[in-house]
Amino acid sequence: MSYFKEHIDKMTGYVPGEQPKDGIYTKLNTNENPYPPSQKVLNSLRDSINGSLRLYPDPIATAARLKIAEVLGTKPERIMAGNGSDDLLSIIVRSFAGPGDKIVFPYPSYMLYMTLSELQNGTPCMIDFTEDYTLPGDFVVKGAKVTFIANPNSPSGTMISPREISRLASKIDGVLVIDEAYADFTDENCVPLVEQHDNILILRTLSKSYSLAGIRFGFCIAREPLIQGMMKVKDSYNVDRLGIVAATAAIDDQNAMKENVVKIRKTREYLTKALQEMGFFVYPSHTNFILARCMDGVSAHNLYSELKKRKILVRYFNIRRLDDCLRITIGTPEEIDLLIKNLKELLLIGVKGIK
Ligand SMILES: Cc1ncc(COP(=O)(O)O)c(C=O)c1O
Protein backbone atom coordinates (compact mmCIF):
# COMPACT_ATOMS: atom_id res chain seq x y z
CA MET A 1 0.00 0.00 0.00
CA SER A 2 1.24 3.49 -0.79
CA TYR A 3 0.63 6.58 1.32
CA PHE A 4 1.17 8.83 -1.68
CA LYS A 5 -1.36 10.44 -3.96
CA GLU A 6 -1.90 8.30 -7.04
CA HIS A 7 -0.36 10.79 -9.47
CA ILE A 8 2.78 11.11 -7.33
CA ASP A 9 3.16 7.34 -7.23
CA LYS A 10 2.95 7.23 -11.01
CA MET A 11 5.63 9.81 -11.74
CA THR A 12 9.36 9.16 -11.93
CA GLY A 13 10.62 12.54 -10.68
CA TYR A 14 13.26 14.83 -12.14
CA VAL A 15 16.75 13.40 -12.49
CA PRO A 16 19.40 16.15 -12.20
CA GLY A 17 22.80 15.87 -13.91
CA GLU A 18 25.45 13.89 -12.06
CA GLN A 19 27.30 15.71 -9.25
CA PRO A 20 30.29 13.48 -8.47
CA LYS A 21 31.45 13.61 -4.84
CA ASP A 22 35.16 13.60 -5.68
CA GLY A 23 36.75 16.54 -7.43
CA ILE A 24 38.80 14.55 -9.92
CA TYR A 25 36.41 14.97 -12.86
CA THR A 26 36.55 17.59 -15.58
CA LYS A 27 32.93 18.52 -15.13
CA LEU A 28 31.25 19.57 -18.36
CA ASN A 29 27.79 18.14 -17.69
CA THR A 30 25.55 20.59 -15.79
CA ASN A 31 26.25 23.97 -17.37
CA GLU A 32 27.97 25.51 -14.38
CA ASN A 33 30.34 28.41 -14.98
CA PRO A 34 34.00 27.31 -14.99
CA TYR A 35 35.12 30.61 -13.43
CA PRO A 36 34.67 31.52 -9.75
CA PRO A 37 32.14 34.15 -8.59
CA SER A 38 33.32 37.78 -8.47
CA GLN A 39 35.68 38.71 -5.64
CA LYS A 40 33.11 41.29 -4.49
CA VAL A 41 30.55 38.51 -4.04
CA LEU A 42 32.98 36.41 -2.01
CA ASN A 43 33.92 39.41 0.15
CA SER A 44 30.31 40.34 0.90
CA LEU A 45 29.52 36.73 1.78
CA ARG A 46 32.46 36.64 4.21
CA ASP A 47 31.30 39.93 5.77
CA SER A 48 27.81 38.46 6.26
CA ILE A 49 28.85 35.36 8.16
CA ASN A 50 28.10 36.73 11.60
CA GLY A 51 25.54 36.72 14.41
CA SER A 52 22.81 38.16 12.18
CA LEU A 53 22.33 34.68 10.71
CA ARG A 54 20.14 33.93 13.75
CA LEU A 55 17.53 36.25 12.19
CA TYR A 56 15.18 35.34 9.36
CA PRO A 57 15.99 36.94 6.02
CA ASP A 58 13.98 39.71 4.35
CA PRO A 59 11.01 37.71 2.99
CA ILE A 60 10.94 39.66 -0.27
CA ALA A 61 14.70 40.10 -0.82
CA THR A 62 14.38 43.88 -1.15
CA ALA A 63 18.10 44.67 -1.53
CA ALA A 64 18.51 42.24 -4.40
CA ARG A 65 15.31 43.33 -6.12
CA LEU A 66 16.32 47.00 -5.94
CA LYS A 67 19.68 46.17 -7.52
CA ILE A 68 18.13 44.00 -10.25
CA ALA A 69 15.60 46.73 -11.07
CA GLU A 70 18.38 49.31 -11.33
CA VAL A 71 20.53 47.15 -13.62
CA LEU A 72 17.72 45.86 -15.85
CA GLY A 73 15.89 49.19 -15.99
CA THR A 74 12.65 48.03 -14.43
CA LYS A 75 10.80 48.46 -11.11
CA PRO A 76 11.38 46.36 -7.97
CA GLU A 77 7.61 45.75 -7.84
CA ARG A 78 8.01 43.80 -11.06
CA ILE A 79 10.59 41.43 -9.60
CA MET A 80 10.30 38.38 -7.40
CA ALA A 81 13.26 36.44 -6.01
CA GLY A 82 13.40 32.66 -5.81
CA ASN A 83 15.59 29.90 -4.40
CA GLY A 84 17.02 29.32 -7.87
CA SER A 85 14.79 29.60 -10.91
CA ASP A 86 13.55 26.06 -10.24
CA ASP A 87 11.77 27.47 -7.16
CA LEU A 88 10.10 30.11 -9.36
CA LEU A 89 9.08 27.50 -11.95
CA SER A 90 7.40 25.55 -9.17
CA ILE A 91 5.69 28.68 -7.80
CA ILE A 92 4.42 29.49 -11.31
CA VAL A 93 2.88 26.06 -11.85
CA ARG A 94 1.25 26.12 -8.41
CA SER A 95 -0.02 29.68 -9.02
CA PHE A 96 -1.58 29.26 -12.43
CA ALA A 97 -2.43 25.58 -13.02
CA GLY A 98 -4.57 23.08 -11.15
CA PRO A 99 -5.34 19.40 -11.65
CA GLY A 100 -6.19 18.65 -15.28
CA ASP A 101 -5.10 22.08 -16.58
CA LYS A 102 -3.04 22.20 -19.74
CA ILE A 103 0.64 23.06 -19.35
CA VAL A 104 2.47 23.48 -22.66
CA PHE A 105 6.17 23.16 -23.42
CA PRO A 106 8.32 22.16 -26.38
CA TYR A 107 10.33 18.96 -26.75
CA PRO A 108 13.19 18.45 -26.25
CA SER A 109 13.65 21.10 -23.60
CA TYR A 110 14.18 21.44 -19.85
CA MET A 111 12.65 18.27 -18.40
CA LEU A 112 11.59 19.95 -15.16
CA TYR A 113 8.55 21.44 -16.98
CA MET A 114 7.19 17.90 -17.37
CA THR A 115 7.96 17.00 -13.75
CA LEU A 116 6.22 20.11 -12.42
CA SER A 117 3.15 19.47 -14.59
CA GLU A 118 2.97 15.92 -13.26
CA LEU A 119 3.42 17.09 -9.67
CA GLN A 120 0.45 19.39 -10.08
CA ASN A 121 -1.54 16.59 -11.71
CA GLY A 122 -1.93 18.88 -14.72
CA THR A 123 -2.21 17.84 -18.36
CA PRO A 124 1.25 18.20 -19.91
CA CYS A 125 1.14 19.17 -23.59
CA MET A 126 4.61 18.40 -24.90
CA ILE A 127 4.99 19.61 -28.49
CA ASP A 128 7.98 18.73 -30.66
CA PHE A 129 10.29 21.47 -31.84
CA THR A 130 10.85 21.36 -35.59
CA GLU A 131 14.07 19.66 -36.73
CA ASP A 132 15.96 22.97 -36.57
CA TYR A 133 14.46 23.96 -33.22
CA THR A 134 11.94 26.56 -34.32
CA LEU A 135 8.43 26.50 -32.84
CA PRO A 136 5.93 24.39 -34.76
CA GLY A 137 2.69 25.91 -36.06
CA ASP A 138 0.55 24.00 -33.53
CA PHE A 139 2.39 25.32 -30.48
CA VAL A 140 -0.59 27.45 -29.39
CA VAL A 141 -2.86 25.21 -27.29
CA LYS A 142 -6.38 26.43 -26.66
CA GLY A 143 -7.19 26.86 -22.98
CA ALA A 144 -3.61 26.35 -21.78
CA LYS A 145 -2.95 27.87 -18.37
CA VAL A 146 0.85 27.94 -18.61
CA THR A 147 3.18 27.79 -21.62
CA PHE A 148 6.92 27.37 -20.99
CA ILE A 149 9.75 28.18 -23.36
CA ALA A 150 13.40 27.98 -22.37
CA ASN A 151 14.98 30.70 -24.48
CA PRO A 152 17.78 30.05 -25.31
CA ASN A 153 16.69 26.44 -25.12
CA SER A 154 18.37 23.64 -23.22
CA PRO A 155 19.67 21.19 -24.32
CA SER A 156 19.80 22.49 -27.92
CA GLY A 157 21.31 25.92 -27.13
CA THR A 158 19.16 27.39 -29.90
CA MET A 159 17.09 30.57 -29.67
CA ILE A 160 13.73 31.95 -30.77
CA SER A 161 13.64 35.66 -31.58
CA PRO A 162 11.95 38.04 -29.12
CA ARG A 163 9.76 39.16 -32.01
CA GLU A 164 8.35 35.67 -32.41
CA ILE A 165 7.91 35.29 -28.65
CA SER A 166 5.96 38.54 -28.64
CA ARG A 167 3.67 37.22 -31.39
CA LEU A 168 3.16 34.05 -29.40
CA ALA A 169 2.29 35.99 -26.21
CA SER A 170 -0.52 37.73 -28.10
CA LYS A 171 -1.94 34.44 -29.35
CA ILE A 172 -1.87 32.11 -26.36
CA ASP A 173 -4.31 31.66 -23.50
CA GLY A 174 -2.81 31.86 -20.02
CA VAL A 175 0.68 32.95 -19.05
CA LEU A 176 3.84 32.59 -21.15
CA VAL A 177 6.98 31.81 -19.17
CA ILE A 178 10.26 32.64 -20.89
CA ASP A 179 12.97 30.82 -19.00
CA GLU A 180 16.06 32.91 -19.73
CA ALA A 181 18.55 30.90 -17.68
CA TYR A 182 21.14 31.37 -20.44
CA ALA A 183 20.20 34.81 -21.79
CA ASP A 184 23.45 36.48 -20.66
CA PHE A 185 25.35 34.31 -23.15
CA THR A 186 23.62 35.83 -26.18
CA ASP A 187 22.74 39.24 -27.59
CA GLU A 188 18.95 39.47 -27.31
CA ASN A 189 16.42 38.80 -24.56
CA CYS A 190 12.72 39.17 -23.84
CA VAL A 191 12.81 41.50 -20.81
CA PRO A 192 11.44 44.46 -22.85
CA LEU A 193 8.35 42.37 -23.70
CA VAL A 194 7.09 42.74 -20.11
CA GLU A 195 6.15 46.31 -21.09
CA GLN A 196 3.95 45.06 -23.93
CA HIS A 197 2.33 41.92 -22.53
CA ASP A 198 0.54 41.39 -19.24
CA ASN A 199 0.88 37.59 -19.50
CA ILE A 200 4.66 37.26 -19.87
CA LEU A 201 6.97 36.10 -17.06
CA ILE A 202 10.72 36.18 -17.58
CA LEU A 203 12.94 33.96 -15.45
CA ARG A 204 16.63 34.52 -14.80
CA THR A 205 19.13 32.63 -12.67
CA LEU A 206 22.47 33.43 -11.08
CA SER A 207 23.55 29.79 -11.50
CA LYS A 208 25.11 30.19 -14.94
CA SER A 209 26.47 33.59 -16.00
CA TYR A 210 27.12 34.74 -12.40
CA SER A 211 28.87 31.50 -11.32
CA LEU A 212 26.54 31.02 -8.34
CA ALA A 213 24.88 27.63 -8.85
CA GLY A 214 25.83 26.74 -5.28
CA ILE A 215 23.95 29.70 -3.81
CA ARG A 216 20.52 29.14 -5.37
CA PHE A 217 19.15 32.49 -6.51
CA GLY A 218 16.85 33.22 -9.42
CA PHE A 219 14.38 35.97 -10.20
CA CYS A 220 11.21 36.55 -12.16
CA ILE A 221 10.25 39.73 -14.02
CA ALA A 222 6.57 40.32 -14.77
CA ARG A 223 3.81 42.89 -14.40
CA GLU A 224 2.83 43.82 -10.83
CA PRO A 225 -0.44 41.80 -10.62
CA LEU A 226 1.38 38.58 -11.54
CA ILE A 227 4.17 39.22 -9.04
CA GLN A 228 1.71 40.13 -6.28
CA GLY A 229 -0.26 36.93 -6.83
CA MET A 230 2.83 34.74 -6.88
CA MET A 231 4.07 36.31 -3.62
CA LYS A 232 1.09 34.59 -1.95
CA VAL A 233 2.25 31.21 -3.19
CA LYS A 234 5.95 31.28 -2.32
CA ASP A 235 7.43 30.05 0.96
CA SER A 236 7.67 32.88 3.50
CA TYR A 237 11.46 32.96 3.44
CA ASN A 238 12.29 31.35 0.11
CA VAL A 239 15.70 33.01 -0.25
CA ASP A 240 18.16 32.94 2.62
CA ARG A 241 20.28 35.78 4.00
CA LEU A 242 23.46 34.73 2.25
CA GLY A 243 21.61 34.24 -1.03
CA ILE A 244 20.30 37.80 -0.91
CA VAL A 245 23.77 39.17 -0.06
CA ALA A 246 25.47 37.17 -2.83
CA ALA A 247 22.85 38.07 -5.44
CA THR A 248 22.95 41.79 -4.62
CA ALA A 249 26.74 41.88 -4.90
CA ALA A 250 26.77 39.73 -8.04
CA ILE A 251 24.23 41.85 -9.91
CA ASP A 252 26.12 44.95 -8.82
CA ASP A 253 29.32 43.60 -10.38
CA GLN A 254 28.22 43.46 -14.02
CA ASN A 255 31.81 43.78 -15.23
CA ALA A 256 32.88 40.53 -13.58
CA MET A 257 29.92 38.66 -15.07
CA LYS A 258 30.43 40.13 -18.54
CA GLU A 259 34.17 39.38 -18.55
CA ASN A 260 33.44 35.70 -17.92
CA VAL A 261 30.71 35.66 -20.56
CA VAL A 262 33.17 37.02 -23.14
CA LYS A 263 35.65 34.27 -22.28
CA ILE A 264 32.97 31.58 -22.44
CA ARG A 265 31.65 32.80 -25.81
CA LYS A 266 35.19 32.71 -27.20
CA THR A 267 35.73 29.15 -25.96
CA ARG A 268 32.31 28.23 -27.36
CA GLU A 269 33.42 29.28 -30.83
CA TYR A 270 36.68 27.43 -30.46
CA LEU A 271 34.93 24.20 -29.39
CA THR A 272 32.31 24.54 -32.13
CA LYS A 273 35.01 24.68 -34.81
CA ALA A 274 36.93 21.77 -33.29
CA LEU A 275 33.82 19.59 -33.10
CA GLN A 276 32.82 20.46 -36.67
CA GLU A 277 36.29 19.56 -37.88
CA MET A 278 35.94 16.18 -36.20
CA GLY A 279 32.67 15.65 -38.08
CA PHE A 280 30.04 16.43 -35.43
CA PHE A 281 26.97 18.48 -36.30
CA VAL A 282 26.86 21.40 -33.86
CA TYR A 283 23.57 23.20 -33.19
CA PRO A 284 24.06 27.00 -33.14
CA SER A 285 24.56 27.80 -29.46
CA HIS A 286 23.47 30.94 -27.61
CA THR A 287 24.41 29.46 -24.24
CA ASN A 288 27.33 28.20 -22.15
CA PHE A 289 27.03 24.72 -23.65
CA ILE A 290 26.98 23.02 -27.01
CA LEU A 291 24.77 20.23 -28.34
CA ALA A 292 26.79 18.11 -30.74
CA ARG A 293 25.24 15.35 -32.84
CA CYS A 294 27.50 12.40 -33.59
CA MET A 295 28.40 11.39 -37.12
CA ASP A 296 26.89 8.23 -38.59
CA GLY A 297 28.22 5.04 -37.02
CA VAL A 298 29.44 6.76 -33.85
CA SER A 299 27.59 5.96 -30.62
CA ALA A 300 27.05 9.03 -28.43
CA HIS A 301 26.45 6.78 -25.43
CA ASN A 302 29.75 4.98 -25.85
CA LEU A 303 31.60 8.25 -26.33
CA TYR A 304 30.03 9.56 -23.12
CA SER A 305 31.01 6.37 -21.23
CA GLU A 306 34.58 6.34 -22.54
CA LEU A 307 35.00 10.02 -21.66
CA LYS A 308 33.71 9.26 -18.17
CA LYS A 309 36.28 6.49 -17.77
CA ARG A 310 38.84 9.18 -18.58
CA LYS A 311 37.31 11.37 -15.85
CA ILE A 312 35.59 13.80 -18.24
CA LEU A 313 31.87 14.21 -17.62
CA VAL A 314 29.57 15.43 -20.40
CA ARG A 315 25.77 15.02 -20.57
CA TYR A 316 24.11 12.19 -22.42
CA PHE A 317 20.31 11.95 -22.68
CA ASN A 318 18.97 8.54 -23.55
CA ILE A 319 15.78 9.94 -25.04
CA ARG A 320 14.24 10.49 -28.45
CA ARG A 321 16.06 13.08 -30.63
CA LEU A 322 18.95 13.34 -28.18
CA ASP A 323 20.31 9.80 -27.97
CA ASP A 324 22.80 10.52 -30.77
CA CYS A 325 24.05 13.75 -29.14
CA LEU A 326 26.36 14.95 -26.39
CA ARG A 327 25.71 18.16 -24.49
CA ILE A 328 28.98 19.74 -23.48
CA THR A 329 29.27 22.62 -21.00
CA ILE A 330 31.84 25.24 -21.98
CA GLY A 331 34.70 24.93 -19.51
CA THR A 332 38.00 26.77 -19.31
CA PRO A 333 40.19 26.65 -22.47
CA GLU A 334 42.35 24.02 -20.71
CA GLU A 335 39.35 21.83 -19.91
CA ILE A 336 38.06 22.12 -23.47
CA ASP A 337 41.50 21.27 -24.92
CA LEU A 338 41.54 18.16 -22.73
CA LEU A 339 38.08 17.20 -24.00
CA ILE A 340 39.06 17.75 -27.64
CA LYS A 341 42.25 15.72 -27.23
CA ASN A 342 40.32 12.80 -25.70
CA LEU A 343 37.52 12.94 -28.27
CA LYS A 344 40.08 12.86 -31.08
CA GLU A 345 41.84 9.89 -29.53
CA LEU A 346 38.60 7.97 -29.04
CA LEU A 347 37.43 8.64 -32.59
CA LEU A 348 40.83 7.70 -33.98
CA ILE A 349 41.23 4.42 -32.16
CA GLY A 350 37.57 3.64 -32.73
CA VAL A 351 36.96 2.16 -29.26
CA LYS A 352 34.51 -0.72 -29.55
CA GLY A 353 31.11 0.62 -30.49
CA ILE A 354 32.29 4.19 -31.02
CA LYS A 355 33.17 3.77 -34.67
C1 LIG B 1 16.48 26.08 -18.88
C2 LIG B 1 16.81 26.03 -17.41
N3 LIG B 1 16.00 26.64 -16.54
C4 LIG B 1 16.25 26.64 -15.22
C5 LIG B 1 17.35 25.99 -14.71
C6 LIG B 1 17.56 25.94 -13.23
O7 LIG B 1 18.26 26.99 -12.77
P8 LIG B 1 18.48 27.25 -11.22
O9 LIG B 1 19.84 26.76 -10.88
O10 LIG B 1 18.34 28.73 -11.06
O11 LIG B 1 17.39 26.53 -10.48
C12 LIG B 1 18.23 25.33 -15.57
C13 LIG B 1 19.40 24.61 -15.03
O14 LIG B 1 20.13 23.93 -15.64
C15 LIG B 1 17.95 25.35 -16.96
O16 LIG B 1 18.74 24.72 -17.83
Greatest pairwise CA separation for the chain in angstroms: 60
Name every residue whose Cβ is closer than 8 Å to that of residue 105 and which is 6 or more positions away in sequence. Answer: 113, 114, 117, 124, 125, 126, 127, 147, 148, 149
Q: Are 321 and 108 in contact (CB under 8 A)?
A: yes
Spacing, Cα 157 to ligand 1 middle (Å) = 13
Spacing, Cα 213 to ligand 1 middle (Å) = 9
Name every residue whose Cβ is closer than 8 Å to that of residue 27 and which is 6 or more positions away in sequence. Answer: 20, 313, 329, 331
By alpha-carbon position, which residue is closest to atom 16 of ligand 1?
Answer: 154
Residue 22 pLDDT:
79
Domain ranges of the chain: 16-35+255-349, 39-252
Q: Are 69 and 79 in contact (CB under 8 A)?
A: yes
Q: Which ligand 1 atom sits nearest the alpha carbon of residue 205?
A: 10
Q: Which ligand 1 atom sits nearest the alpha carbon of residue 208?
A: 9
Q: Which ligand 1 atom sits nearest the alpha carbon of residue 89?
A: 4
Of 100, 9, 28, 19, which is closest to residue 268 (Cα–Cα)? 28
How many angstroms separate the first and last alpha carbons of the chain?
48
Residue 17 pLDDT:
86
Among 87, 205, 288, which residue has the most ligand 1 atoms within 8 Å of its CB, making it the best to mutate? 205
Among 14, 92, 109, 110, which residue has the most ligand 1 atoms within 8 Å of its CB, making it the best to mutate? 110
Q: Which ligand 1 atom sits nearest the alpha carbon of residue 110?
A: 1
By alpha-carbon position, which residue is closest to atom 15 of ligand 1?
Answer: 181
Spacing, Cα 271 to ligand 1 middle (Å) = 23
Spacing, Cα 50 to ligand 1 middle (Å) = 30
- Residues 5, 9: Cα–Cα separation, whole Å: 6
Spacing, Cα 15 to ligand 1 middle (Å) = 13
By alpha-carbon position, which residue is closest to atom 12 of ligand 1?
Answer: 181
Residue 23 pLDDT:
78
By alpha-carbon position, which residue is closest to atom 3 of ligand 1?
Answer: 181
Residue 91 pLDDT:
98
Q: Considering the entire predicted model, what is its pTM?
A: 0.96
The tens place of each residue's pLDDT in the chain, 355 residues long, gives: 899 999 999 999 998 888 888 779 999 999 999 999 999 999 999 999 999 999 999 999 999 999 999 999 999 999 999 999 999 999 999 999 999 999 999 999 999 999 999 999 999 999 999 999 999 988 999 999 999 999 999 999 999 999 999 999 999 999 999 999 999 999 999 999 999 999 999 999 999 999 999 999 999 999 999 999 999 999 999 999 999 999 999 999 999 999 999 999 999 999 999 999 999 999 999 999 999 999 999 999 999 999 999 999 999 999 999 999 999 999 999 999 999 999 999 998 876 566 5
- Residues 10, 114: Cα–Cα separation, whole Å: 13
Domain 39-252 CATH (choose: 3.30.565.10, 3.40.50.300, 3.40.50.80, 3.40.640.10): 3.40.640.10
Spacing, Cα 181 to ligand 1 middle (Å) = 6
E strands along the chain, which residues? 26-27, 79-82, 102-107, 123-128, 146-150, 175-179, 200-205, 218-221, 281-282, 289-293, 312-313, 325-329
Instruction: Specify the DSSP element, H or E, that contains 245.
Output: helix 241-252
Q: Which ligand 1 atom sits nearest the alpha carbon of residue 217?
A: 10
Spacing, Cα 69 to ligand 1 middle (Å) = 21
Q: Are 178 and 203 in contact (CB under 8 A)?
A: yes
Spacing, Cα 277 to ligand 1 middle (Å) = 30
Residue 126 pLDDT:
97
Could you write out the DSSP letters of every residue in 321-345?
Answer: TTTTEEEEE---HHHHHHHHHHHHH
Spacing, Cα 351 to ligand 1 middle (Å) = 34
Pocket around ligand 1 at a 6 A CB cut-off: 31, 84-86, 110, 150, 154, 179, 181, 205, 207, 213, 218
Phi, psi of 179, rounded to the nearest 5 degrees: -85, 100
Of 158, 162, 93, which is closest to residue 131 (Cα–Cα)? 158
Question: Fold for domain 16-35+255-349?
Answer: Aspartate Aminotransferase, domain 1 (3.90.1150)
Spacing, Cα 205 to ligand 1 middle (Å) = 7
Could you write out the DSSP letters of every residue in 106-126?
Answer: EESS-THHHHHHHHTT-EEEE
Residue 276 pLDDT:
98
What Å distances lie between residue 258 and 248, 263, 292, CA to CA?
Answer: 16, 9, 25
Residue 351 pLDDT:
64
Q: Are 275 and 344 in contact (CB under 8 A)?
A: no
By alpha-carbon position, which residue is closest to atom 2 of ligand 1?
Answer: 181
- Residues 24, 266: Cα–Cα separation, whole Å: 25
